Structure 1
Amino acid sequence: MTGPAGGRSPVAVRGKRIIGRTDELEQLARAIREGRRLVLVMGGVGIGKTRLVAQAAQEARDNGTVVVEASCLPLDVRLPLLPVIDMLRSLDRAVGRPAVEEIVAGLPPDASDELARLVPELIGHQVGPDVLPAAEWKRQRMFAAVDLVLTRVARHRPVLVVVEDLHWIDMATLDLLTYLRASSRGSITMVVTCRSDEAPLDPLVARWIEQARRPETERLDLAGLSRPAMAELAEQALGGTPDDGLVEELHRRTEGNPYFAEELIAAAAGGQLTRQPPRALADLLVARARRVSVPARGVLSALAVAGRPVPETVVARATGMTADEVASALHELIDARLAVPDSVRPELGCRTQHALLAEAVVGDLLADERRDVYAGMAAALESVEDPALSAEIAGHWSAAGRPADELRLLLDAADHSHRMRAYSPAADLWQRATTIAEKLPDAAEKLGVEPGWLRVRTIDALQACGRDLDAAHLTEETHARHHDSAGGALLAAVLHRTAWHRGVIAQREAPPSTAYGLFDEASRIYRALPESAEYARLLADHARFMWMDSCDSASGSVYRTALAVAERCGAVHEIADALSGLAEVAFLHGDPAEGFALLDRAREAVRHPSDTELTPRIDYFIAEYHSNALLKTGQLAAAERVAREGLERARRMGATSGYSAAVLHHNAVEALLERGFVDAVAELVADVRDRQPGLDDWNLHLYQAQVEICRGELDAAVARTRSVDRLGLAGPRMWMYERIRLLPRAALWARDPAAALGQVEPALALLSGCDVEQFCGELLALGARAVADLAETARARRDRDAERAAHADADRLGDVLHRMRGRPFVDHPFLATIAGDRADWQAELCRVRGVRDPDAWAQAAGVWQRLGRPHRRAYALLRQAQVIVATARNPTAAADVLRAAAEAAADMVPLTAAIRRLAQRSRISLAPTRTLAPAAPEPEDPYGLTNRERLVLGLLAQGRTNAQIGTELFMSPKTASVHVSNILRKLGVANRAAAAAVGERAGLTGLDA
């Protein structure tokens, strides 16, 4: 690419790897290899022509091609044949002076004289003073001389002639290129670059380019870089991964022009792009704009402030020009490559050639002049009377310094965005309108606007699109601002939003218990006012929070009151909201059929709403409750489907983050994970893999940790769960339960049972004393597993104190279960996993006490198989096989169980590894078999070794120490030493090496430990 004055850009000088031009580079390289006579590379300023050609030329040079380079210069008086002189000197550098002297020595005298006119220092003598002979036959002789030199070089090696910046070429050199293209013989290829946006382009050059359209000519028209290529360019320039927003802004403003992008990055401050292009770049862009007529500059200014294609009628209104004047000015701008019609829909009008050109033109206007142009464009667009343009017009009024007009249009724009379900833009527009209304109370009053209600609408829009944290921050700010000054319905609305966000998006510094008083205060205010949809919504949110925090059955009566108020007010959304909440109450209180029927009623209520503004909030709640109910009742595939459908609706509405979408994500990934579909879960939570957890995505990080556990990345899983724990989340207890139940898994698989137990016990204390206890079976089972691991380790180490401590831990868990009146393990029609959690709990307690009961684990495995949870089943089967191996006379008795465990453990790396270790120690092949093959005959043993001693001998033959043998066979080093002594005595040898040799010769070491 070339810089502002035609010199090489910093990119080309630094020689960095070319980006985003793989296809073009291959096309150019192929044309050079095939010996195309002419290759024409076209593109706008800074698009990367020079860089592309330089890369291709270097590759050709590396392959033995002689590369001859020349450049045209932007001189006021174009001196003839300067590029030809450059070309001949480049040839001297490429092949060396001796080779040039040899070629010149073989030239006819007249050819030598013609070349001496151009480069006497290479030819070795001077000729007459004429630089360009007047007679045409003399010019032809000079052209023939240059052709002859290149042809002689090409006899031995291919020749590539590169001529840069054809748009500045002199006519004599242009004629030479025409001559070379027509008459050169041998392997000579010419590559010529030319700006496609140069205006005015010399007519002879334009005609030459047009005439170059022939079969033997290859033409490359370079477009802007793609967005991924722009991201790569930004990463190269910054030396690190750029922010997505930065890449998006770079691509939008530069339209993929790499030179423009690098200039913007170079001028960036603190990683933030400047609002105006750098001065040098702005001067480059504006210089051409100053060459056109005054009317054309006026139209260009209008197009620049518009920043998009604008119809001629709008331009005419904005500038006060006639239609004919605008048309004439646009033709002039298009000819000057300063404006272009819309490429997809030309009827939309014209825009500036580049977004950066628009910025530079606007920046070049004087302050008053700029305000007038913006005001003219705002008024012109208002006359179109299109509500979709309201936000754009508001921006123009803002740039024109007219805040009252801006407020008027912001309100229209926010209402329009909300009607179109574009909730995030609506929130931003209302927030901007709030700022102006609070600064200009007279203007707000004139429009009949109360700033406090604007804040409430902003909070609701933020929540609707999933920006819960933004909503929570604005809520606290609004509460602080209006709590003492507002009254009536506004105060109740502010208290309502504050209660919800303190209750649900709470951290430790704002415990959720503070929400109850705010809900009660808001309810008292509403009861003194006429019934309204706002009151019904408050009641439903109050009931929902009570339910999420304690599963309190009293929430049912509050939901029913909300439903009655909503029905009397005809508030469709609030009716659906209350019905969804009543469904969850029905589910947990033992009536799933009633719960699903209520969800059906909720869906029916919003299927044909009385107005067109169906907020996604209600849609989300129905999808949340439905997918969660399916999940809890064990209908995993259906739960995944409903959750995914809800997420798709959220995506279409631009609300894929925040509370509602988080719950849907949660339900979808749990349904997949429980069925063992690890890769599908990884795909759903891939966005969080490389970032730190936050207040709005902690649940996805916990499921990413589950993916890492399944893939054996245990250190990463532990670190991620710790990061989530450090967030200090509080919130309602059901949220706490959903978070805490996932935390201990990483510690358990990372063999840190003490850490897992340290997570389980505080969680059980937090969740006890309310109906959330019914969900605690899994936590109790995980706690029992941690205690069992501690007890087994203590027994293996003969650490009686640690074993007694483990028993005390188990007793504490039993006390918790007793205080919960056994509710976590009482069968419930809504909670399908209770039977499996209960079976795990009982089997783990056997393990704590050292009781080897394979039937307990078989029962657990059977429950998990019926529930379709393969990894949980595989864990139970592994434990069952361990008990069988430890108690059976022949360890291979566990073969069928272990093979079933291996099959169920697919995609669960730590579990699969444990199964394989046990299979290896027990001489069990995990390959599936339809029928049991007859057992191989035992090797004849004249020494009378027991099976256990053969296992020890096998490990001894592998060079294992007594301690290592003890670890492999679950015995103490002292016991291993006794076995080794017995083996030495029975084999009649004096040492371990001799025993290994005798055992190998006798075929006694084939048992794989």
Structure 2
Amino acid sequence: MGVRRLVGREGELALIAAAVRQARRLVLVTGDVGIGKTRLVTEAARAVRSEGAVVVEAACLPLDVRLPLLPAIDMLRGLDKALGRQAFAEVLAALPPYSVDELARLVPEVVGRQAGPDAVPEGEWKRQRMFAAVEQVLARAARGRPVVVVVEDLHWVDGATLDLLTYLRASASGPFSLVVTCRSDEAHLDPAVARWVEQARRPETVRLELAGLSRPAMAELAGQILDGPPPEAMVDGLHRRTEGNPYFAEELIAAAVAAGDGSQEVALTREPPRALAELLVARSRRVSGPARAALAVLAVAARPVPESVVAQVTGMAAADVAAAVHELVDAKLALPDRARPESGCRAQHALLAEAVAGDLLADERRGVHAGIAAALEAMADPALSAEIAGHWSAAGRPDDELRCLLAAAEHSHRMRAYSPAADLWQRATAILEHRTGANGEPEVEAGWLRVRTIDALQACGRDLEAELLIEDVYARHRDTTSGALRAAVLHRTAWSRGVVGQREPPPSTAYALFEEATRIHEGLPPSAEYARLLADYAAFVWMDSCDSRSGAIYRDALDAAERCGATLVAAQALIGLAEVTLLHGAPSEGFALLDRARERARSGPHGELGFRVGFLTAEYHSNALLKMGQLAQAERIARDGLDRTREAGAVHGHGAAVLHHNATESLLERGLVDDAAALIAGAGDGEPRLDDWNLHLWRAQIEICRGDVEAAATRSAAVAALGLAGPRLWLYERLRLLPRAALWAGDPATALGYLEPGLDVLGGCTLERYCGELLALGARAAADLAETARARRDRDAELAAGAAVDRLQAAVELMDGRPFVDHHFLATIPGDRADWHAELGRARGRRDPDAWGEAAAAWERLGRPHRRAYALLRQAEALLATSRNPLTAAEPLRAAAGAASGMAPLTMAVHRLASRSRIPLDAAPPPAPPPTVDPYGLTDRERHVLRLLAKGYTNAQIGAELLMSPKTASVHVSNILRKLDVTNRAEAAAVGVRAGLTDS
């Protein structure tokens, strides 16, 4: 392992370098033990030395009998070595004789002789003369280059050196700088050193008080030590336990590596390393017995503790506790909470606390834990329940621990802290697995705790963890004799398998599980759990088919919820009914049902009800507005929902991903690419997962807009590789987005490969109404394949493209044309229908400007600029192919250029067509696509003519460019038209571009 680079101190390094360049006299670096003072100044010395500075280093030593001026001796020896013997001799030769004599007293081997005998009486001025000699040698050495003197560990300095540093600090001779380090946590700092440090607080001093490393810097440090990225849990533990102290972090990592089994996984040890622990414990033993007892309480508590708690645990009188705490603070072993004085004090450092606690005997430690737990429990603060449970656990009292864990989980859940609640219930479950009540049966049913854990995990967005736990719970409890528990387990398993999107088992198994759970509940008393089961069953039926029969199940859920007062479930049922009504009934009735759900949230209790109802209404309301074409309102509702998820700490769940999805779609459909990118920034980072695939697909759409089509295609392929199952409504949402990157990347076959199997799955249910966009995309892919085949005279490929068109038309016939029948809820059907017919014509080789004009008009009415721009581009192509006058395409082409703003591939295509047609646009034409094989047998000269023809050159301009007559150019153009089997120059240019014949 090589030398590790300094991390997290870039700002301090820059300050030291600037101080040296400015010849600032003193740089004082302070900080706790292990905070990185030595490493900082060492790196700073290396940096300024590389810039031409002379750097000498000295250190004070922790000796019982301190040798006077030892750092000064090191300084002079280092200067001799840094300058070289000859250069140092030249410096000495320029000094007054008395200075050389004084230096000889310090380093005779460097000066080359012993100092002469004293000829004058002793006095203070003699010491000053020695100080002056040191100052002079530094000043002389600094002529023409900076000199930096590094003095480390000032807290161990002797008095004479301290005086020398005072003298040098006040000196005005020469551009030399002092860089001095001193601990700020030393308990017994010499008063003279303390005064010196205090006097250094002046404007001309560069003072650096090192704090702990940030979490990113700690991650980088750990990565350097481990030669690879550290686990996130390790970084969290290091940052928390060391409070950013790099030395402590290195010791913890070293101990973890030493305790490992040689595998790649390295986990931190629970105790601090022995050497570090002994150092910290040794400091704690310098105080009195009462102070050590108080420190033991602070250490075991690992938090600020009021003096009353210390008194209760130790049994000391209040006055004795106060005196002991003051002693600890004076010794810098305890730190008062200055922001909240009533909270008391804590141990000075987290690792100090660990070391002191580890030094206690096991029985002592358990007793302190039990005392702290009892004292905190007496405060009757539910927020402390989890902490108290931890102390009971350390005290070896599982009954008390379980009681507090359950209380803590309930409190966390009430406070909408779902993630901690899930963790607490899991801990409680683990305890239950190893203990039973007096009659041999568990006092609390572990199965119900697991069910609560599942619900909490899903509430906070930890869906994948919930999915794994569900399958474990199903295996454990599917045959339990408790009907209610069995129904709850079947219910959650059905939802997971049907909706979450696992590959195996298939979603169809969810129907049987839902139905079995429903039958069990029919023999049980009415309950909120039954109401929730019905609501989830209805939601699954809806997501799998959009069938109106889910409305009847929602109504049963609403009745059951109202009978047992399950307000949240009633609101969920209303929201589900609203979605069914919006598609199968009147929109006004659907939105009225959403309003009823919101009203229930406002009139009900706070907490989960308000969050869940507000979140769900935002999700369904924004989605409904999107489907109905009300894009700006959809964005506003989705953003409001995202604000709610952030407040509830559920911003990483699938529901939040849906809200990001809805808001992003609204922005992109309106052409607001930068706004969409800003909204989704940071969402969907890393590799696609089961719970964020939709975010990745929308990020791919942004990448397409910005011209990074290859990245978009790669991202889309990664989502496809997940092999997602789940309900068919989610399949539809994936199929809307997956093919787009492939289409813009020039890979229509892949796009068809996504679409055709999906259309087969979506057929046969109400979701057929949604398929117009998918069919239009499929027709576009088939048309692209057909045009390429015709341009390359590949008859087999042309027949294959025609077969794809036939299959798509057959799919529409099987759906009885429903995807293209106007519907009040699905606003884009007119545009999709127009695209479908226009793309079919293109696939069959027909150029129909009117069809594309109709599509462009439809998308303009719908406020979708990029879709309109695409239709206008195709209209311009059709006009150029059917007319001898290229100016007939000018108006749609210019309109396409304006509407395509923000969509790079579309803009590039518009400019290429404008360039070929000699239709001026504001922007410069982008580069042409890469070349392909020529299937037409054009000569090199004809290909050159075709390139100029594609640029809009006339015959006269072609002749001038190629040094031929206009008549000869006309002959070449006629040959090209004949070979390409086209009727005019514009069509020849279009075929040449598609076949890759116009590239250089």
Q: Using a 3 Å threshold, how does the CA distance of structure 1 residues 445 and 147 change in structure 2: closer, same or farther?
A: same
2:744 counterpart residue number: 749
1:85 corresponds to which letter in structure 2?
A: I
2:708 counterpart residue number: 713
2:213 counterpart residue number: 225
Question: What is the distance in 2 between the residues matched to 1:645 and 1:234?
Answer: 40
2:57 counterpart residue number: 69
1:325 corresponds to which letter in structure 2?
A: D
The answer to whether the 8 A contact 1:899-1:928 is kept is: no
Tell me which moved more, 569-578 or 405-414.
569-578
The answer to whether the 8 A contact 1:499-1:516 is kept is: yes
The answer to whether the 8 A contact 2:328-2:334 is kept is: yes
2:609 match: secondary structure: coil
Deviation of residue 484 (structure 1)?
1.4
Deviations 1:573-632 (A, max 9, x none): 121111111101111114111111110011001111057542644333222111111110
Structure 1 residues 2-17: aligned runs within 5 Å? 14=3, 16=5
1:143 corresponds to which letter in structure 2?
A: F
Does residue 878 of structure 1 match 2:904? no
Does residue 176 of structure 1 match 2:164? yes
1:825 counterpart residue number: 820
Deviation of residue 212 (structure 1)?
3.2
Unaligned 5+ runs, structure 1: 1-9, 930-957, 972-978, 996-1003
The answer to whether the 8 A contact 1:899-1:926 is kept is: yes
Does residue 557 of structure 1 match 2:519? no
Q: Using a 3 Å threshold, how does the CA distance of structure 1 residues 57 and 828 change in structure 2: closer, same or farther?
A: same
Does residue 325 of structure 1 match 2:320? yes
1:672 counterpart residue number: 667
Tell me which moved more, 840-849 or 264-273.
264-273
1:614 match: secondary structure: helix
2:978 counterpart residue number: none
1:366 corresponds to which letter in structure 2?
A: L
Structure 1 residues 475-874: aligned runs within 5 Å? 475-610=470-605, 613-614=608-609, 616-687=611-682, 691-874=686-869
Deviation of residue 155 (structure 1)?
5.5
Q: Using a 3 Å threshold, how does the CA distance of structure 1 residues 179 and 444 change in structure 2: closer, same or farther?
A: farther
1:3 counterpart residue number: none
Deviation of residue 889 (structure 1)?
1.1
1:976 counterpart residue number: none
Percentage of matched positions with identical amino acids:
67
Alignment counterpart, residue 263 of structure 1, candidates 251, 265, 275: 251
Deviation of residue 266 (structure 1)?
4.3
Does residue 98 of structure 1 match 2:86? yes
The answer to whether the 8 A contact 2:751-2:781 is kept is: yes
Structure 1 residues 437-452: aligned runs within 5 Å? 437-442=432-437, 449-452=444-447
Alignment counterpart, residue 52 of structure 1, candidates 40, 51, 71: 40
Does residue 115 of structure 1 match 2:110? no
Deviation of residue 702 (structure 1)?
1.3
Question: What is the distance in 1 between the residues matched to 2:751 and 2:51?
Answer: 63
The answer to whether the 8 A contact 2:31-2:210 is kept is: yes
Alignment counterpart, residue 347 of structure 1, candidates 342, 346, 349: 342
The answer to whether the 8 A contact 1:878-1:898 is kept is: yes
Deviation of residue 129 (structure 1)?
9.8
Q: Using a 3 Å threshold, how does the CA distance of structure 1 residues 235 and 923 change in structure 2: closer, same or farther?
A: farther
2:433 match: secondary structure: helix
The answer to whether the 8 A contact 1:120-1:126 is kept is: yes
Deviation of residue 550 (structure 1)?
0.8
The answer to whether the 8 A contact 2:4-2:225 is kept is: no
Deviation of residue 247 (structure 1)?
3.5
Structure 1 residues 77-92: aligned runs within 5 Å? 77-92=65-80
Question: What is the distance in 2 between the residues matched to 1:893 and 1:272?
Answer: 72
The answer to whether the 8 A contact 2:68-2:161 is kept is: yes
Question: What is the distance in 2 between the residues matched to 1:729 and 1:989?
Answer: 58
TM-score normalized by structure 1? 0.88
Deviations 1:280-332 (A, max 9, x none): 33333333223333332332232222222222222222333332232222222
Does residue 904 of structure 1 match 2:899? yes
Structure 1 residues 300-319: aligned runs within 5 Å? 300-319=295-314
The answer to whether the 8 A contact 1:590-1:829 is kept is: no
Deviation of residue 94 (structure 1)?
2.8
1:541 match: secondary structure: helix
Deviation of residue 48 (structure 1)?
2.5
1:625 corresponds to which letter in structure 2?
A: Y
Question: What is the distance in 2 between the residues matched to 1:959 and 1:227?
Answer: 65
1:164 counterpart residue number: 152
The answer to whether the 8 A contact 1:685-1:701 is kept is: no
Question: What is the distance in 1 between the residues matched to 2:337 and 2:481?
Answer: 51
2:417 counterpart residue number: 422
Deviation of residue 135 (structure 1)?
5.1
1:524 corresponds to which letter in structure 2?
A: R
Question: What is the distance in 2 between the residues matched to 1:321 and 1:356?
Answer: 26
Q: Using a 3 Å threshold, how does the CA distance of structure 1 residues 144 and 624 change in structure 2: closer, same or farther?
A: closer
Deviation of residue 516 (structure 1)?
1.1
2:437 match: secondary structure: helix
Deviations 1:507-555 (A, max 9, x none): 2321111111111111122222222222211111111111111111111
Unaligned 5+ runs, structure 2: 258-264, 925-937, 952-958, 976-984
Deviation of residue 402 (structure 1)?
1.9
Q: Using a 3 Å threshold, how does the CA distance of structure 1 residues 888 and 508 change in structure 2: closer, same or farther?
A: same
2:127 corresponds to which letter in structure 1?
A: R
Question: What is the distance in 1 between the residues matched to 2:354 and 2:571?
Answer: 49
Structure 1 residues 262-301: aligned runs within 5 Å? 262-269=250-257, 270-301=265-296
Q: Using a 3 Å threshold, how does the CA distance of structure 1 residues 444 and 492 change in structure 2: closer, same or farther?
A: farther
Deviation of residue 355 (structure 1)?
1.9
Q: Using a 3 Å threshold, how does the CA distance of structure 1 residues 596 and 176 change in structure 2: closer, same or farther?
A: same
The answer to whether the 8 A contact 1:459-1:474 is kept is: yes
Alignment counterpart, residue 209 of structure 1, candidates 192, 197, 200: 197
Deviation of residue 506 (structure 1)?
3.5
Deviations 1:257-293 (A, max 9, x none): 2333333344444254333333333333333223333
1:471 corresponds to which letter in structure 2?
A: A
Tell me which moved more, 178-187 or 287-296.
178-187
Deviation of residue 690 (structure 1)?
5.0
Structure 1 residues 133-152: aligned runs within 5 Å? 136-152=124-140
Q: Using a 3 Å threshold, how does the CA distance of structure 1 residues 847 and 40 change in structure 2: closer, same or farther?
A: same
Structure 1 residues 452-467: aligned runs within 5 Å? 452-467=447-462
Q: Using a 3 Å threshold, how does the CA distance of structure 1 residues 212 and 590 change in structure 2: closer, same or farther?
A: same
Question: What is the distance in 1 between the residues matched to 2:679 and 2:109?
Answer: 70
Deviation of residue 371 (structure 1)?
2.3
Deviation of residue 774 (structure 1)?
0.7
Q: Using a 3 Å threshold, how does the CA distance of structure 1 residues 764 and 74 change in structure 2: closer, same or farther?
A: same
The answer to whether the 8 A contact 1:550-1:771 is kept is: yes
Q: Using a 3 Å threshold, how does the CA distance of structure 1 residues 137 and 517 change in structure 2: closer, same or farther?
A: same
Q: Using a 3 Å threshold, how does the CA distance of structure 1 residues 546 and 156 change in structure 2: closer, same or farther?
A: closer
